[in-house]
Amino acid sequence: MTAAELKLDLINRIANLEESRIIEEIKSFLDFEQDTTVFQLSDEQKERLLKAQNDEILTEDEANNEIEKWLQEK
- Per-run averaged pLDDT (10 residues), the chain, 74 residues: 95 95 93 84 92 87 92 85
Do 27 and 48 belong to one domain? Answer: no
pLDDT at 39: 81
DSSP class per residue in 10-72: HHHHHHT---HHHHHHHHHHHHHHH--PPPPPPHHHHHHHHHHHTT----HHHHHHHHHHHHH
Q: Which amino acid is at 73?
A: E
Number of residues that make up the chain: 74
Q: How many domains does the chain have?
A: 2
pTM over 0.75: no
pLDDT at 37: 83
Do 7 and 28 belong to one domain? Answer: yes
Domain region containing 22: 3-34
